[in-house]
Structure 1
């Protein structure tokens, strides 16, 4: 007979595409099999699912670029990267909504910073030019 215990864990997520922040609750069963190996089973609403760090999809925009934070992250880190505290009704990208609820809010798009890439490209071009000029002498 396997021995173990179950706990509820709430994991915060952020979509890297639309910046939506939400939380999902999991029932995590930790037990040992008959051979002494540890087994962890993640369930949501009675259905076995993958762990939160594996294969999450944004319920708002459907993007697979989702980051997770450990359980209790927002309780120990009062602000997010955008400097706002995601409370029970608001987050950096708008209100928190249940995972299955879809709204008609337009997704926000972040423009990636181009300056670091431009500086690297210019540095590489200068280095290559100096190597070509120095090698012809």
Structure 2
């Protein structure tokens, strides 16, 4: 007879595409099989699922580029509610506001273009 125990774990996620942040709760069954091997079974809402670090998809945009945080990380850094897959609202931040498009990539591109153009103009003026 396999011995084991079950625990609830809440995992926080962030979509790297739409920047949506959410948490999902899992019931994790840990036991040993008849040969002494450890077996871990992940379930969510009564259905067996893959572990949270494997194959997670954003419930808002469907993108597979999702990252996780350490368990309990968001509880110490931000207030967040658990999102159910059936009711996935629009891409909102934790305060319920629409998240702006990140400007850093565009700023870095503009700066690199300015540096390149400036070096070309300098080369023309000085006369390489």
TM-score (norm 1): 0.65
Gaps of 5+ in 1: 79-84, 90-95, 123-137
1:80-110 CA-partner distances (Å, limit 9, x unpaired):
xxxxx2x135xxxxxx642321335588654
Which residue is 2:80 aligned to?
Answer: 88
Match of 2:63 in 1: 63
Aligned equivalent of 1:134: none
Aligned length: 106
Give 1:72-87 correspondences, 5 Å limit: 72-75=72-75, 77-78=76-77, 85=78, 87=79
Identify unmatched segments of 5+ residues in structure 2: 92-97, 117-128
User: Within the alignment, does 1:98 sit opposite 2:98 as a pair?
Assistant: no
CA RMSD of aligned residues (A): 2.7
Does the 8 A contact of 2:22 with 2:80 survive in 1? no
Match of 1:28 in 2: 28
- 2:10 corresponds in structure 1 to 10
In 2 relative to 1, CA 73–57 (structure 1 residues): closer, same or farther, beyond 3 Å?
A: same
Alignment deviations for residues 14-50 of structure 1 (CA, whole Å, 9 cap, x no partner): 0111111111000000000010000100000111100
Distance 1:107 1:59 in 2: 16
TM-score (norm 2): 0.69
Distance 1:104 1:88 in 2: 15
Local SS of the residue matching 1:42: strand
Provide the C-alpha distance between the structure 2 equivalents of 1:48 and 1:10, rounded to a whole number of angstroms.
16
| d(CA) in 2 for partners of 1:66, 1:16 | 6
Question: SS where residue 113 of structure 1 aligns?
Answer: helix
CA contact (8 A) 1:19 1:108 kept: no
